[in-house]
Amino acid sequence: MTELTRRHFGLLAGASLSSLAMPSLVLAQGKPKVVVIGGGPGGGTAARYIAKESNGAIDVTLIEPQKTFTTCFFSNLYVGGFRDYKSLTHNYEKVKKSGVKVVHAAATAIDRDKKQVVIAGGQRIPYDRLLVAPGIDIKFDSVPGYSEAAAEIMPHAWKPGAQTQLLVKKLNALKDGDQIVMVAPPNPYRCPPGPYERVSMFAHVLKKKGFKKSRIVVLDPKPTFSKQGVFAEGWENHYPGMIEWQDPKMHGGVKEVDAKAGTVKTDLADYKAALVNVIPAQWAGKIARDAALVNNTGYCPIDAASMKSTVDPNIFVVGDASIAGEMPKSAFSANSQAKVAAMIIRSELTQSRAFPARYSNTCWSLIAPDDDIKVGASYEPKDGAIKATTTFVSQKNEAAELRKQNYKESVDWYNGITADIFG
Amino acid sequence: MRRWALARLRTISGMTIATAAIHAMAGSSTAADVELGRYLSSECTTCHGAAKADTTIPPIYGLDQRHFTEVLRAYRAKTLPNEAMRSVAARLQDEDIAALAAYFAAARPR
Ligand SMILES: Cc1cc2nc3c(=O)[nH]c(=O)nc-3n(C[C@H](O)[C@H](O)[C@H](O)COP(=O)(O)OP(=O)(O)OC[C@H]3O[C@@H](n4cnc5c(N)ncnc54)[C@H](O)[C@@H]3O)c2cc1C
């Protein structure tokens, strides 16, 4: 189309838009439009699946400010020295090749009445269906004394990128006798076994350096945690006496962190540590909160059969930002939810067949070289929520060969899922 | 290469499966719902999408339908090890397995 005809077309479309309020007629004017906010496991998967499975019948735009995406998943393996940073970074070239228009800008607002997304710079992108997958934001003030500035000294490293690199830099600079303190997060948070896999990787690095005097203290606001039994067994086997995990009854609560002084105060004791990893509480990414897609939990309620927002029928929310019943906040879950949402969105816009929603998840965690444990489940909508239909978890005293097999499997999974998300 | 992947699955199991009986069942079914298979396959691609001949997670595109059916049924019956695969297979009906087998036999990676 020439510039002139395109403008002409735009004017005509605009005129009919204002005179016809029926969404189906708006759809009839051209290809249906899907906009996706966030190019992580949730948004990347959804954008690619909608574009590819609709064979170009749907116009898909992905809005993501970053040119490359570094995964949080497997970032603990980078901490432990099993992966290099580059191997965690992916670009959007193949996403574009799948037929997705990628706009590298942040979405600044969702105009739900007009069905438009506003991006940085003010441009508006119209949608027939919007999929929101911005992940989580850190609630800095959930830990007294902690702030975005304090995170430059006491990293959370719960969002990928510079924070993870800072954590690794601090870990590698430790000397024997230096202490590590982790302030673990309250539920619900992204990657339930993540903090404990990270503790394992800290311990692995200290052990590898031959340190005898350094200790790791975990101050947990939860009385129990994911895969606790097998983690505890693994810590005892590989790192005896190195890790001290405290439940809230033992420490009585974290009263204050002081980044400059390098201290953490609890009811029980004060700690001074060369490396403090503070993982605060979390909630849905700002764009979802600003658009009032969240409830009082700070996350987005969804319909279990479709991942459709319960507050707006034109919007779907997947991944960490959603309230997905019994599913953990993981890349695996986000990828699985995105496929259900993509299938439903296509059926709504192009009358393709809809199938009953099926979800799944597996989370692998590395405790030590070749000692990898896993937890997983299949899920389906039941009584209005996503519920597990079958579950499994690694057991104590498993054969070393099985744990080694788990590790290899996790590496294959990483390659599989990143290809599924990014092409 | 296809056969190799399945042969390896069998070696992992270290058991023999009543192949003849399964083949008979798999072969007698009515036309498989390939579109259903395509939807269900999205659960598989998360892990198997980038699989190569030498990976722990085996490639499944282009697999012979009967072997595919046999292996999934064995996971469902818990006669093959691997908890993740047993969990995946647990909810698959015979029609689902037939649909997946038909889809993967002809499909290429997305
Ligand atoms: C240490 C650690 C280890 C982990 N290990 C595992 C693991 O082994 N397995 C596993 O499955 N999961 C793991 N996870 C969890 C996993 O990383 C997350 O669950 C997953 O990234 C969630 O995907 P998402 O798409 O919902 O959000 P994200 O991955 O956070 O992606 C959101 C994207 O949205 C973009 N965005 C945000 N706001 C806007 C906006 N306003 N406009 C445009 N774009 C926006 C962001 O830039 C980002 O790219 C781990 C997490 C951590 C922290």
Partner-chain residue, chosen from A360, A412, A419, that has the shortest CB–CB distance to B56: A412
Q: What is the CATH number of the domain that holds B101?
A: 1.10.760.10
User: What is the sign, positive or negative, of the torsion defined by CA atoms of A164, A169, A170, A174?
Assistant: positive
The finding on whether A407 has its CB within 6 A of some atom of ligand 1 is: no
Partner-chain residue, chosen from B43, B48, B51, that has the shortest CB–CB distance to A360: B43
What's the pLDDT tens digit per position in B1-49? 334 444 444 443 433 344 434 444 444 456 899 999 999 999 999 999 9
Length of chain A: 423
Domain that includes residue A338, residue range: 31-135+285-354
pTM of the entire predicted model: 0.91
Residue A38 CA, closest ligand 1 atom number = 34
Q: What number of other Cβ atoms are within 10 A of residue A293's Cβ?
A: 26
CA distance A107 to chain B (A): 28
- Both A250 and A344 in one domain: the answer is no
Tell me the CA–centroid distance for residue A286 and ligand 1, in Å: 14
Candidates B16, B27, B63; CA nearest to B44 is B63
On chain B, the residues whose CB falls within 8 A of the CB of A391 are: 87
3-class secondary structure, A38? coil
Kindly state the greatest CA–CA separation across chain B: 34
Q: What number of other Cβ atoms are within 10 A of residue A151's Cβ?
A: 21
A117 part of a folded domain: yes
Does B59 sit behind a cis peptide bond, omega within 30 degrees of 0 on the bond before it? no
Last residue of a domain, one of A278, A306, A329: A278
List CB contacts of A244: < 8 A, sequence separation 6 or more.
Answer: A215, A216, A217, A218
- Indicate the pairing of strand A322-323 with strand A300-301: parallel
On chain A, the residues whose CB falls within 8 A of the CB of B61 are: none
Residues of B with CB under 8 A from a CB of A: 35-36, 38-40, 42-43, 45-51, 55-57, 83-84, 86-88, 90-91, 110
Asked if A365 and A192 count as a contact pair (C-beta separation under 8 A), the reply is no
Residue A345 CA to residue A347 CA, distance in Å, equals: 5
Partner-chain residue, chosen from A355, A378, A416, that has the shortest CB–CB distance to B90: A378
- Both A333 and A312 in one domain: the answer is yes
The finding on whether A287 has its CB within 6 A of some atom of ligand 1 is: yes
Asked if A317 and A196 count as a contact pair (C-beta separation under 8 A), the reply is no
pLDDT for the residue A228: 96
The finding on whether A155 has its CB within 6 A of some atom of ligand 1 is: no
On chain B, the residues whose CB falls within 8 A of the CB of A335 are: 46
- Both A255 and A311 in one domain: the answer is no
Say if A420 is an interface residue toward chain B (CB within 8 Å): yes
A390 part of a folded domain: no
Residue B34 CA to residue B102 CA, distance in Å, equals: 6
What's the pLDDT tens digit per position in A236-283? 999 999 999 999 999 999 999 999 999 999 999 999 999 999 999 999
| Total of domains in chain A | 2
Partner-chain residue, chosen from B43, B56, B83, that has the shortest CB–CB distance to A358: B43
pLDDT for the residue B31: 87
Domain that includes residue B100, residue range: 2-106
| Gyration radius of chain A over CA positions | 23
- Both A147 and A239 in one domain: the answer is yes
The finding on whether A185 has its CB within 6 A of some atom of ligand 1 is: no
CA distance B14 to chain A (A): 14
A162 part of a folded domain: yes
| Total of domains in chain B | 1
What's the pLDDT tens digit per position in A116-129? 999 999 999 999 99
pLDDT for the residue B3: 40
pLDDT for the residue B10: 42
- Both A105 and A51 in one domain: the answer is yes
Residue A111 CA to residue A117 CA, distance in Å, equals: 6
Beta strands in A221-358 (DSSP E): 243-246, 254-258, 263-266, 270-272, 275-278, 281-284, 300-301, 315-317, 322-323
Q: What number of other Cβ atoms are within 10 A of residue A43's Cβ?
A: 27
For chain B, the average pLDDT equals 81
A23 part of a folded domain: no
A306 DSSP 8-state letter: T
Residue B107 CA to residue A258 CA, distance in Å, equals: 57
pLDDT for the residue A29: 64
Q: How many CB pairs under 8 A join A and B?
A: 87
Last residue of a domain, one of A228, A256, A278: A278
List CB contacts of A289: < 8 A, sequence separation 6 or more.
Answer: A137, A283, A298
A230 part of a folded domain: yes
Tell me the CA–centroid distance for residue A345 and ligand 1, in Å: 22
pLDDT for the residue A147: 98
The three-state DSSP-derived secondary structure of A181-241 is EEECCCCCCECCCHHHHHHHHHHHHHHHCCCCCCCEEEECCCCCCCCHHHHHHHHHHHCCC
Asked if A135 and A41 count as a contact pair (C-beta separation under 8 A), the reply is no
The finding on whether A284 has its CB within 6 A of some atom of ligand 1 is: no
On chain A, the residues whose CB falls within 8 A of the CB of B50 are: 412, 415-416, 418-420
Q: What is the CATH number of the domain that holds A248?
A: 3.50.50.60
Q: Whose CA is nearest to atom 17 of ligand 1?
A: A72
Residue A240 CA to residue A120 CA, distance in Å, equals: 51
φ/ψ of B21, rounded to 5, equals -60, -45
pLDDT for the residue B15: 39
- Indicate the pairing of strand A101-103 with strand A59-63: parallel
pLDDT less than 70: residues of chain A:
1-29
CA distance B27 to chain A (A): 25
Last residue of a domain, one of A295, A321, A354: A354
Q: Whose CA is nearest to atom 39 of ligand 1?
A: A134
Inter-chain residue contact A335 with B39, CB threshold 8 Å: no
Asked if A36 and A95 count as a contact pair (C-beta separation under 8 A), the reply is no
CA distances, A206 to each of A71, A155, A173, A182, A232 (Å): 24, 18, 11, 15, 17
pLDDT for the residue B27: 47
Tell me the CA–centroid distance for residue A340 and ligand 1, in Å: 18
Asked if A376 and A362 count as a contact pair (C-beta separation under 8 A), the reply is yes
- Indicate the pairing of strand A116-119 with strand A124-126: antiparallel
- Both A157 and A264 in one domain: the answer is yes
Q: What number of other Cβ atoms are within 10 A of residue A62's Cβ?
A: 28
List CB contacts of A338: < 8 A, sequence separation 6 or more.
Answer: A41, A42, A43, A44, A45, A46, A49, A131, A133, A307, A318, A319
Length of chain B: 110
